[in-house]
Amino acid sequence: MSRPLILGLGGTMRAESTSDKALRLSLAAARERGAETVLLSGADLDLPMYGLALDGRAARLVDLMRRCDGMIVSSPAFHGGMSGLIKNALDYAEELRGDPRVYLDGIAFGPIVCAAGWQAVGSTLGSLRAVAHALRAWPTPMGVGINSLAAPFGADGRALDEGVQRQLELVAEQVVEFARMRRASAPMSIPRDLPRLAAGR
């Protein structure tokens, strides 16, 4: 069986941000567990607001979402919610509404949130999970919340906190393990018009 493809989405334009370092460590852990990974962050996700014609970068994002077996999404907490880059990127999953695998149906979704303090961590993790559910993805039991004020990473990107490192590894482990189980099982039969029915249209 080929290696599962895990797509990482990073939600900040700031190089060397806490959320970017966290995502890179989690993707590295996914590779150690035999996955193929692709990282889209910063300028990769500086896309037109969803609803306009797809440019080349947006088309690549949609293609990767279509082909991936799992996702790890790392967002800073902006005013109690996910960053605009992440929300807009996930909105592009609407392009998958007519696919045989509708939206992100059955895709493992590992959420990571970094905030300057703990207040916004819970609400942002909740909003990431809510969007994942709306897109039919399967949020991992483990969701990582990181207080960036604690300076959990060194300048070289390594985790200075063993607990943070283990949590990032656990998210990767759960995403990769679920992706493998999902690929080995028969696909579930779900009505393709479920979003329309659920919306009452």
Q: Which domains does the chain have, with CATH numbers?
A: 5-198 (3.40.50.360)
Q: What is the pLDDT of residues 152-165, one digit of tens each?
A: 999 889 999 999 99
Q: What is the pLDDT of residues 3-51, one digit of tens each?
A: 999 999 999 888 789 999 999 999 999 999 999 999 999 899 999 999 8
Those residues with Cβ within 8 angstroms of residue 189's Cβ, 6 or more apart along the chain or in another chain: none
Per the CB < 8 A criterion, the answer to whether 25 and 164 are in contact is no
| CB contact burial 128-161 (16+ within 10 A = b; e otherwise) | bbebbeebbbbbbebbbbbbbeeebbeeeeebee
Per the CB < 8 A criterion, the answer to whether 10 and 71 are in contact is no
Q: What's the predicted TM-score (pTM) here?
A: 0.90
Whole-number Å distance between alpha carbons of 180 and 104: 16
The DSSP bridge partners found for residue 147 are 115
